[in-house]
Structure 1
């Protein structure tokens, strides 16, 4: 089994080098990702049989393989914002998890410049802690210093907008709505400059004002030499934010190109 590899030579330059050379941040080379689902025998006694196999450390009889990503190849460059689109179950989130190093690849390779950061709507914050404590812990988890967190703390809270209707930042996360929690997650992640930031559906959770702030922040990250991947079913967010789109369908890369061209083909496909 091939393991995702990391560590392209770092370069802080945001603009292309002399001669028009662009600096790659992510290279996916014929990437295949396979899930294996293990199940016991059907019928009477299946639970007992499964327990027996566990105790004897023997594998189950039924193994189902799901080929989630099939031979995907692309190169992402500094300064790009890349949208990932496709039907549900097409492999978009799975591909991002592999780029982040959270999933092994079955075949092929993933090379990245620096450590990619994956932000999903379900990214874990601690529900029993206040929003304030989660901002601190989230910043530390991303590698920010305490001084950096203190300097950016108020900007994070203001960006999230969760205090617009009360002092929610001092309340436990379990009291937040799903939208408030998602906005705070994005705000924490967006406070740091990333080499590669991957956002999974986070922009779909906020109101229009928050979406506009988020899209503006993504454009700032691009200018600061980062690369942004955005998974979304909101074509308007993709069109307003991304200059390039990867279209995955049934695990295969169906199209890779400028945003307007790919979205036009995708929208015709979904109308059929």
Structure 2
């Protein structure tokens, strides 16, 4: 049985204040999301409709690690949000086994609270009990590596760099097994040692019959971590197959 089935999925939403030309695409528009109802562009209204995902279909299975590749604005992050249930498809269907976990959303962290407090709250948000959080606390902090240059875990998260915050989010999410774990660019932050730890943990999740989706602009990360890749451009799925083959085609353009 597949863990995720995406059947002819389209995701369309309306954004306000988005320029009709220039760079940014669907990824930038998503941050200004106002409405999920499709609407025609109205001249002078300052709104436009974004058709971010266009007729994408695939099935994912237990034990797979699937990389999503494509240029900026190709729909990768939007597709992850749709699989996580955060953006309802305007057409088509998504079926998932269990509750998908989108890294950094299920374990939403708060900038005014210390890293220590966020580990507790993030672990609870991921479905762990307080006893499980206490038992895994040291492992989570050590895995993130944020204390390697000082006692940052006792400081508010707003004092962290974006990389430190991303590493802590991954560490919290990786402390629990998931039916489906969705990771968006988290492994791009951190040094080689952190990336190695992350890839090892992803292998452990897969060994426990989990399915992992990874968005990354680093083709080497996809090659090292994933056995399958999906290539999206302009919201359409261009290729689905072994990671090495898909990446080679993508690099050839």
Q: TM-score range by the shorter chain?
A: 0.7 to 0.9
Q: Separation in 1 of the partners of 2:61 and 2:14?
A: 32
1:125-171 Cα offsets, whole Å, 9 max, x none, are 11111111000000001111001101111100000011111111111
Query: For 2:228, which of 244, 251, 258 is the aligned residue?
Result: 244
Structure index of larger Rg: 1
1:111 counterpart residue number: 95
Q: CA deviation at 1:120?
A: 4.7
Which has the larger displacement, 177-186 or 240-249? Answer: 177-186
For residues 46-81 of structure 1, the C-alpha deviation after alignment (integer angstroms, 9 at most, x for no partner) is xxxxxxxxxxxxx99445221110000000000000
Q: Is the Cα contact below 8 Å between 1:120 and 1:201 reproduced in 2? A: no
| TM-score (norm. length: structure 2) | 0.86
Q: Say whether the 8 Å CA contact 2:184–2:214 is kept in structure 1.
A: yes
Q: Does 1:143 align with 2:121?
A: no
- TM-superposed CA distance for 1:207, in Å, is 0.8
Displacement of 1:124 after TM fit? 3.8
1:27 aligns with 2:5: yes
SS of residue matched to 1:132: helix
* Aligned with 2:158 (options 174, 191, 213): 174
Q: CA RMSD in A?
A: 1.8
Match of 2:64 among 59, 62, 80: 80
Provide structure 1 residue ranges, at least 5 long, that are not aligned to the other structure: 1-22, 40-58
Alignment coverage as a number of residue pairs: 228
Which of the residues 196, 203, 218 maps onto 2:187? 203
Q: Distance in 2 between matches of 1:101 and 1:91?
A: 15
Q: Which residue of 1 aligns with 2:202?
A: 218
Q: Is the 8 A contact 1:38 1:60 kept in 2?
A: no
The one-character-per-residue Cα deviations of 1:187-245 (angstroms, maximum 9, x if unpaired) are 00100100000000000011111011101111110001000000000011100000100
Tell me the residue number matched to 2:239: 255
Specify whether residues 167 and 246 from structure 1 end up closer, same or farther in structure 2 by C-alpha distance, changes over 3 A only.
same
Partner of 2:222, secondary structure, is helix
CA contact 2:41–2:48 (8 Å) conserved in 1? no
> Which residue of 109, 114, 118 maps to 1:125?
109
